[in-house]
Structure 1
Amino acid sequence: MTTYAYDAMDNLTDVYQGVQHREFRYDQLGRLRTAKNPENGTTTYAYDKNGNLISKLSGNDYTCFGPVVTSPPACNASADFDSSGATNYYDALNRPTSKQYSDGTTPSVTYRYSEDLSGGPLNYQKGRLTSIVSGNTTIQFNSFDAAGRVLRHTQTTTGAVGSPYVFGYQYNTGGLLTQLTYPSGRVVSTTYDDAGRAGKVLGQLGSVSTAYAGPPTGKIYIQYAPHGAVSQMLLAGGTSETWQMNEQHGYNSRLQPTSISLATTAGTPVTIRNLTFGYGGAENNGNLLSQGIAGTGLASALSQSYQYDRLNRITKVGEGTTWNRNFDYDQYGNGWVSAYTPSSFAPDPSTPQSQGTINADTNQTGIAGSTWDGAGNLNNIGTGSFLFYYDAENRMIRSVLGSATVYQYDGQGRRVARIDCPSNMTTCDAATAGAAVTSFAYDAQGQLAAEYSNHPSSQPCTTCYLLADHLGSTRVMTDSIGTAVQCHDYLPFGEELLAGTSGRNGCYLPASGSGVLFTGKERDAETSLDYFGARYYSSAQGRFTSPDEFPGGIVDPFTDQQASQPGPLPYADITDPQTLNKYGYVRNNPLRYTDPDGHDWQDAVEFVAGVGRGVAASESFGAVGAPSESDSMSSRIGQAVGTGVVGVVGAIASVGGITGGVLTAPTGVGALAGGAVALKGAASAVGAAKNLGAILTAPMQRSSDSGSYTNTHESGAVYVGKGDRARSQASGRRVAKETGDKHVATDHTSASSSREGFKAESRRMDQARSEGKKLYNKRESPGKKMRQQDGEN
């Protein structure tokens, strides 16, 4: 059993779950001051007078929005309010201006606004975020149009191959991205149907035109299912739109994906891959029960079956009698492989294989020789394995096994370089002789657009297309005429099924690969870990290597979290105690859910539909056609990342065998679960071009976490509060339980900051009183005093 305790202001204060206790404490304004969790101990927060986060202390490292006092290491501000208000961390509009760290090694971050970087008279930069500077990388948003959409942006990374990377953007009157120009000069154009969905995708590099994705024969546009997900498109049209491959998606009456297929079009069609998905009949609760796999590289068609426990956690996977693997879990959501057949199908040595390999006090694995740091990060997987090192943001900066690989990040926390050091060197940088440098370039919305390297390409084809399954996992890589050059199948948590397993041969690999693989995330060859953005994931362990934490900073478009409002459990669903585990992966149901950014699980089916709808951007993006109030967060995220469709990244220079560019098709890996993606040269694609719309027009977007709400109960009485929608629902259940008065409706509005959320809460209470409604609130909102201080009614 899991029990929750709240204070009089409805703040979550304690969670009791078996031997684990999570403790949260707040100041008089309801702002989180300390969070104590089993995985990483105590984190302490401090705020300025406007409610902006000014410092975070986790372990021995301070993160400061402003200067750092290094003796002793701390932030240059009192943890309590004073007359100065410690406003040096933010500007007059409460926008963060700097972020620094006390460890002496993590690069500081500087945010700048309203700079004129275009050199022209019409930049429309006033009030907008124009640059982010950190360490070896500077991001500049050089130019905007009158609607605040980014027209040009530049990423400059010291030591990166071909840097700086310059991108250009054009939009139609509806705000959809119509042209995307990449650093090589390649221009990708997208046409749309009447519903604002991608209809055709074309590319131009110099005098050479290339058709990447288009409509089926006799159609004007790519075809879509009723819920907005792709149903059919043709791929690899070359210079004359002579399409080489046909991709089709099928759905059942509940709009769940039932099939994904890719076949050649020339002569007698050849099925490259046909995937089928079964959910059962009357017992269909959304869990995938079976998967069929047919096509190239298989001696015969295969069928996988899956079983689940009453908490919808996967407990068994198998391919007939050829092999099986069983999973079990403790009450905290920690999992392990409990059985497997045959003996030759043994798990990786780093995989937990009994409950005894899990520390129930901390949710950390106890594989022989593995250790963890004070912030809850995995230092090494086991005796004789890798050593991992982290910065003050808990980002992995180095992995060492004999030689080192160094990882570098920009001011938005995105990985911009991976540097393989020469033999037996335990650290290096891009200037080190003999170092192999891979650089990552991002578009203006922050999606990875291309990779560049100074070492020879191992790409198996000049232009490669990737077919992804319902989770976004790469299943087949083909060349431009439909020949399969790589095939991939997976165990539920992402480990690859290799050549020789159940008759797999030919295009299947003899050892686990690297590149864009499980759920469209990049798998590093050196560690076999998947880079999820916020942190790294081990498919062998079925869990993340670092705890899920809110870092603070510019608003996170996926979760709507912002710098001024950390929450007690920002990425957990308190109605599901399994998600309290900060290392857990997607509720231990990896065939149904995905994690787009390393923070928050999403329903893959709703995500697919959301990306297909694309044109309807999320609240934060504010493009064409706002989503419905009934849309899930999974759908909204899908809508946000799916708006617009295709990006082709041309390589900047012919260095170490890098030539050509990258294509990500309408259902690109990393953006939409399902669909083909093309790769050219040594670059790798993981995302589609997006509707950049308004993502950067207001860096501190309205945050649902800082919102206010009014819950109406069956008797007509109301309860008013501050917080996000999840909190409003939790309050509704709590008050209903206390009073016996059923919660029937919620009115929620986002706010620009924590302070504005409190003031809105106070106004709601005043309105309820003026209307003669009974209030279930036990005390006045702190927002009343704030309104008086600000001279507001």
Structure 2
Amino acid sequence: MSLSYTAGGLLASRTDARAVETNYDHDVYGQVAATTTGSYPAVMRDHDPLGRLLSLTDREGATTTFAYDDRGLVTERTDPQGATVTHGYDGAGRRISTTDRNGDTVTTEYTATGKVARQEYADGTTVSYRYDAHDRLVEMTDPHGSMANSYDGAGRLIASTDANGHSVGYAYDAAGNLTELTYPDGRTVSYGYDALNRLRTVTDWAGRTTEYVYDPAGRLVLQLNANGSVVNYHYDTADRLTRLTHRRSDASVVWEQQFSLDGNGNRTQEVREAPLHPVSLEAGETPLSYNAERTRLQTAGGESFAYDAEGQLTDRSGTTLAFDPAHRLVGLGADTQYAYDGAGNRLAATRDGVTTQYIHDAAGNLIAEADAGGTITRHYVHGQGLIALIEGDTAYTYHFDALGSTVAITDADEAIVNAYSYRPYGRVVERSEAVPQPFTYVGQYGVMEEAAGLYYMRARYYDAEVGRFISEDPIGFEGGLNLYAYVGGNPIVGVDPEGTWVVNAVGGIIGGVAGGIGACLDGCNVKDALIGAGTGAAAGALSPLSVGRTVGATFARGAGLSSASNVVAQGISIGTDADQSFVQNFNALEVVGAGIGGGAASAITRPFGKTLAEQISAGVIGFGPSNAGTLIGRNVSSSFNAGK
């Protein structure tokens, strides 16, 4: 990559490794006024003398405008359709009200120390928070019940109980690594680490052990599954994955991918051996049409789409979708309903009258399912990503491709019981399934398949049939100019399991439950994010490029890419320049929720702007789980507190 600058030291152009040039024009205040990439139309920005963004016009000519109060806090954001989001603040600059484009208002109250104490939504529902003397969240009460947390003397979470009454326990070693996870029914999973605090073993209650082996460079090279199957990772000298192989103990192949890379690291060819291939690939085109501003999809082939003023999909060819005032999908057609707690965790789903309760650990991993009466029916085991599904005493092992999608599931005898094949954007085209289960496309990272081609990606739902999200990005333009786009149009290497930020999947593992929990609970200032609470920084104005809605489902859900494994933050996909602006303070549940995995293949799973990008490039990723999480967490906290 090459850069050029103006005489005044401003960035004038950037040419990437593919020789694509981006030019920057500046206004009289030195702010970027226009960004032009290749032959595409320019992205235009207008700033006031104080450097505040007044308007942003995308390449299609759609303009979003922003207004501020005397303190520089965003008070209004008007979208290209003319709908406005408004914000109100108290004397300390903390956001106390937000009225969205549907006219729904959420109000927020704070404790004396600046913690979020209570929120009330437009439908009258409330969420309240109670903290201990150390400002740690000990209770959250919402319409579904109460969530409670308890801590040890070192301030580490040792027990959490959700609104359905399911309790999860945690134990740690002296370095702060998670050593034991206790499920609500008393079953335990233990974790072992090497001298560098890298996850080495995961052992369930029946003694089934998964092992991880690293090379001298700290790269994961071997995963020994509990059923005897093995996973091998091969890299080139630039640490890029070149081959991923799943084999049985007799050396027969379950799945294999081999990649050819060009000099810039782009994949130019893939050769695979798979248990299931598409029978045929249909040729043809699907015509698409959009609204006048070209921001919302209206038709795709024979499908039609309708939205509310907030940009949420409300009808798809006669199938209705319902959202609550917190912008969470609560109804899909007449037969499916979803329930969430105050932090945005999905507590339950009712499909055709059958209710399934979901039980998560503090890192946001789904660890168990229960029936309507609360009886656990299925367990999931996580380590460096999702490892196994256990029903009764029967264990099944997951096998993922380089993108993190489930390609096979094997039983204790290493026989394939499930196999899947996908289109690039995630549509399942072939399925052989003896054991129905939800983790298919990008399932390694906790993404769950739903009906009608939808996938639950925490902050929002993704429609694989059209390759778009069904609602706007909660972080707004910080995630790119197209608020509905999935992975910036590059599903070959990109994943977005949180529904907010694109990361490049390189196939393998990084800090799932063990790294995620161990990292942030080791004294870092973002640990409240692990347990779905607001923090001291959770008050104030969003940057103008952010949508300005509460994104508790994203940031308060927990640390880590949840079950995300082997996702490496190789680049931040922010279409409006990562360092142009970023979230300065979060409102209510918009907590820092860093999501730090651990080990040699750890990753940041939330976009924290230039400061975090610099930490990534400086090599912070690669420390052990606790150290990496603590260091990055503190940098995040100091950056946010400084208002950068």
Q: Compute the TM-score of the two structures, normalised by the length of structure 1.
A: 0.57
- In the TM superposition, what is the alpha-carbon distance from 1:131 to its structure 2 partner? 1.3
Question: 1 CA distance for matches of 2:442 and 2:563?
Answer: 7
Q: After TM superposition, list the pairs within 5 Å mapping 1:598-613 onto structure 2.
A: 598-605=499-506, 611=511
Residue 296 in structure 1 maps to residue 275 in structure 2: yes
1:585 corresponds to = 486
Residue 497 in structure 1 maps to residue 429 in structure 2: yes
Q: Runs of 5+ in structure 1 lacking a partner? A: 67-88, 115-124, 158-163, 215-221, 237-242, 299-318, 325-339, 348-352, 422-434, 500-506, 551-568, 573-578, 627-636, 638-666, 675-697, 705-722, 731-747, 762-793
1:516 corresponds to = 439
| SS at structure 2 position matched to 1:571 | helix
1:127 corresponds to = 135
Quick check: which has more Rg, 1 or 2?
Answer: 1
- In the TM superposition, what is the alpha-carbon distance from 1:498 to its structure 2 partner? 1.4
Q: After TM superposition, list the pairs within 5 Å mapping 1:213-292 onto structure 2.
A: 213-214=210-211, 222-225=212-215, 228-236=218-226, 244-265=228-249, 268-279=250-261, 281-282=262-263, 284=264, 286-292=265-271
Residue 392 in structure 1 maps to residue 325 in structure 2: yes
Question: 2 CA distance for matches of 1:417 and 1:234?
Answer: 33
CA contact (8 A) 1:358 1:366 kept: no
Q: After TM superposition, list the pairs within 5 Å mapping 1:180-195 onto structure 2.
A: 180-195=181-196
1:303 corresponds to = none
Residue 13 in structure 1 maps to residue 54 in structure 2: yes
| SS at structure 2 position matched to 1:394 | coil
For residues 666-698 of structure 1, the C-alpha deviation after alignment (integer angstroms, 9 at most, x for no partner) is: x99932148xxxxxxxxxxxxxxxxxxxxxxx9
Question: 1 CA distance for matches of 2:459 and 2:482?
Answer: 16
| SS at structure 2 position matched to 1:497 | strand
1:44 corresponds to = 86
1:428 corresponds to = none
One-letter amino acid of the structure 1 residue matched with residue 77 of structure 2:
A
| SS at structure 2 position matched to 1:580 | coil
Question: Structure 1's 585 and 27: CA in aligned 2 closer, same or farther, altered over 3 A?
Answer: same
Match of 1:409 among 310, 332, 340: 340
CA contact (8 A) 2:88 2:98 kept: yes
Question: 1 CA distance for matches of 2:562 and 2:158?
Answer: 25
Q: After TM superposition, list the pairs within 5 Å mapping 1:320-719 onto structure 2.
A: 341=283, 353-356=286-289, 359-367=292-300, 369-382=304-317, 385-400=318-333, 403-421=334-352, 435-453=353-371, 462-498=394-430, 507=432, 515-520=438-443, 521-550=446-475, 569=476, 571-572=478-479, 579-605=480-506, 611=511, 621=520, 623=522, 670-673=563-566
For residues 398-436 of structure 1, the C-alpha deviation after alignment (integer angstroms, 9 at most, x for no partner) is: 112xx4211110011111111124xxxxxxxxxxxxx30
One-letter amino acid of the structure 2 residue matched with residue 48 of structure 1:
D
One-letter amino acid of the structure 2 residue matched with residue 595 of structure 1:
D
Match of 2:128 among 110, 115, 138: 110
CA contact (8 A) 1:494 1:539 kept: yes
CA contact (8 A) 1:144 1:151 kept: yes
Question: Structure 1's 196 and 726: CA in aligned 2 closer, same or farther, altered over 3 A?
Answer: closer
CA contact (8 A) 2:447 2:497 kept: no
CA contact (8 A) 2:199 2:515 kept: no
CA RMSD, Structure 1 to Structure 2 (Å): 3.8
1:197 corresponds to = 198
2:110 corresponds to = 90
- In the TM superposition, what is the alpha-carbon distance from 1:592 to its structure 2 partner? 1.6
One-letter amino acid of the structure 2 residue matched with residue 56 of structure 1:
T
Question: Structure 1's 514 and 726: CA in aligned 2 closer, same or farther, altered over 3 A?
Answer: same
Question: Structure 1's 152 and 414: CA in aligned 2 closer, same or farther, altered over 3 A?
Answer: same
| SS at structure 2 position matched to 1:587 | helix
Question: Structure 1's 150 and 473: CA in aligned 2 closer, same or farther, altered over 3 A?
Answer: same
Residue 56 in structure 1 maps to residue 137 in structure 2: no
Question: 2 CA distance for matches of 1:63 and 1:127?
Answer: 27
Question: 2 CA distance for matches of 1:514 and 1:729?
Answer: 36
CA contact (8 A) 1:275 1:291 kept: yes
Question: 2 CA distance for matches of 1:444 and 1:612?
Answer: 11
CA contact (8 A) 1:703 1:752 kept: no
- In the TM superposition, what is the alpha-carbon distance from 1:144 to its structure 2 partner? 0.9
For residues 243-273 of structure 1, the C-alpha deviation after alignment (integer angstroms, 9 at most, x for no partner) is: 52112111122212222222221xx432111
- In the TM superposition, what is the alpha-carbon distance from 1:726 to its structure 2 partner? 3.9
Question: Structure 1's 470 and 728: CA in aligned 2 closer, same or farther, altered over 3 A?
Answer: closer
One-letter amino acid of the structure 1 residue matched with residue 402 of structure 2:
H
For residues 569-605 of structure 1, the C-alpha deviation after alignment (integer angstroms, 9 at most, x for no partner) is: 4632xxxxxx211101111011221113111111223
For residues 116-169 of structure 1, the C-alpha deviation after alignment (integer angstroms, 9 at most, x for no partner) is: xxxxxxxxx63211111111142110x212221101111132xxxxxx211111
CA contact (8 A) 1:513 1:525 kept: no
Question: Structure 1's 725 and 407: CA in aligned 2 closer, same or farther, altered over 3 A?
Answer: closer
- In the TM superposition, what is the alpha-carbon distance from 1:523 to its structure 2 partner? 4.1
| SS at structure 2 position matched to 1:527 | helix
Question: 1 CA distance for matches of 2:146 and 2:405?
Answer: 31
1:717 corresponds to = none
Question: 2 CA distance for matches of 1:672 and 1:446?
Answer: 13
Question: 2 CA distance for matches of 1:414 and 1:22?
Answer: 31
CA contact (8 A) 2:512 2:562 kept: no
CA contact (8 A) 1:519 1:673 kept: no
Alignment coverage as a number of residue pairs: 500
Match of 1:147 among 154, 157, 161: 154
Question: Structure 1's 42 and 290: CA in aligned 2 closer, same or farther, altered over 3 A?
Answer: farther
One-letter amino acid of the structure 2 residue matched with residue 270 of structure 1:
S
One-letter amino acid of the structure 2 residue matched with residue 139 of structure 1:
M
Q: Identity of counterpart residues, as a percentage?
A: 25
Question: Structure 1's 615 and 140: CA in aligned 2 closer, same or farther, altered over 3 A?
Answer: closer
For residues 18-66 of structure 1, the C-alpha deviation after alignment (integer angstroms, 9 at most, x for no partner) is: 3200111221212111112237832111111111111111123434334
| SS at structure 1 position matched to 2:412 | coil
Question: Structure 1's 297 and 494: CA in aligned 2 closer, same or farther, altered over 3 A?
Answer: closer
Question: Structure 1's 541 and 229: CA in aligned 2 closer, same or farther, altered over 3 A?
Answer: farther
2:208 corresponds to = 211
Question: Structure 1's 379 and 96: CA in aligned 2 closer, same or farther, altered over 3 A?
Answer: same
Question: Structure 1's 516 and 200: CA in aligned 2 closer, same or farther, altered over 3 A?
Answer: same
- In the TM superposition, what is the alpha-carbon distance from 1:516 to its structure 2 partner? 0.4
CA contact (8 A) 2:498 2:561 kept: no
| SS at structure 1 position matched to 2:271 | strand
- In the TM superposition, what is the alpha-carbon distance from 1:477 to its structure 2 partner? 0.8
